[in-house]
Amino acid sequence: MRYRDDKEGRGGFTLLEIMIALAILGIVVTIAVTNFQGLMEKYRVEEETKQMFADLMDARGRAMQRNRVFFVQIATNWYKTFEDTNPAPDGNNNLEGSDTQVAAVTVKHPITSTGGLSNFRFTRNGISSATGSIRFSSTSRPDYDCITVVATRIKMGQTNATDNACVEK
């Protein structure tokens, strides 16, 4: 008579092997989640930068199309654009409480503006009354986190880490 060994014919895993596999899986998941959160932060900053760029381009284009002045106000956590509609029909080139608000956007990342870009206007020809840069502050390093505005153009870029200048792309 032949006695059967308990381990013979079994193909299972030991408790130790399962615990090691779970520990390795936990480490991999932790690294993946950390990297994912960093990527999401970069994309959020880029999204806010691109949205503001689009709103500025829209205000500039509307100023030329409608032959009216458009105003831009920028604060630390929001920005707004207004159409000069008071008094009718073409406004008076001054921002007043009764002018039409076109866009009002609250942002999650702090905005820093230089060169008088906290309050400026686009003339009827689409020319900006101020020159400078707008930056969204973040600990991540997104591809786009700043906007430069000069009299005749608006461009997005990335902040240079050494001198905090906006390098247009």
CATH number of the domain residue 101 falls in: 3.55.40.10
Q: Is the pTM of this model over 0.85?
A: no
User: Closest by alpha carbon to 113, among 138, 135, 139, 128?
Assistant: 135
42 in any annotated domain: yes
The count of domains in the chain is 1
The amino acid at residue 60 is R
Find out whether 57 and 154 touch, Cβ atoms under 8 Å.
Answer: yes
Tell me the per-residue pLDDT of 92-120, one tens digit each, with 9 for 90 and over: 999 999 999 999 999 999 999 999 899 99
The answer to whether residue 46 sits within a structural domain is yes
Residue 4 counted as domain residue: no
The answer as to whether 72 is a domain residue is: yes
Report if residue 7 sits inside a domain: no
Angstrom distance (rounded) from CA 110 to CA 145: 11
pLDDT in tens, 147-164: 999 999 999 999 998 998
Determine the structural domain holding residue 122 and report its residue range. 15-168
